Amino acid sequence: MKYLVLYFWIVIISLGSGCKKVSNQEFVKVISPKEMQVFLEVDSVQLIDVRTPKEFSEGFIDNAQNIDFFSPTFKEEISKLNKSKPVFVYCKSGGRSGKSVNVFLDAGFTKIYDLEGGFLNWKSQGLRTVK
């Protein structure tokens, strides 16, 4: 009986976590710095840095637009972006950009790429930044 209850809970937990991944997976993809670099070299993309203006002023990925996740106008500012084009988003280490993905989804974006490990990971890979 213990095993039956344990099995039941494992199935419930698996189904619950699987649903979340599947629903966002078709719209959101976490990509490595190298993958993002390829996208940035190939096409003109909407690259959004969701860090604070102070963080942004200390260095950013070339051609990034700074839209502060903590700004009270964050939702309004991202709604001005082209929803039919893919959007690439990053923050310092991946936390804020991961949270911002839900805001982008709610705003109607259907192709969202989140930089794995954020700006710190980008820099650690020795990729180009500007000030």
What CATH number did the domain enclosing 106 receive? 3.40.250.10
pLDDT in tens, 91-117: 999 999 999 999 999 999 999 999 999
Give me the mean pLDDT over the 3-15 stretch: 38
Task: Please name the amino acid found at residue 4.
Answer: L
Residue 104: which of 123, 121, 117, 91 has the closest Cα?
91
Distance, in Å, from the CA atom of 12 to the CA atom of 124, rounded to the nearest integer, reads 39
Number of Cβ within a 10 Å radius of residue 91: 24
Residue 53 domain flag: yes
**What is the per-residue pLDDT across 34-71, written as a single tens digit (0 to 9) for each?**
999 999 988 778 999 999 999 999 999 999 999 999 99
pTM for this one?
A: 0.80
**Residue-number span of the structural domain to which 93 is assigned:** 25-124
pLDDT of residue 49: 98
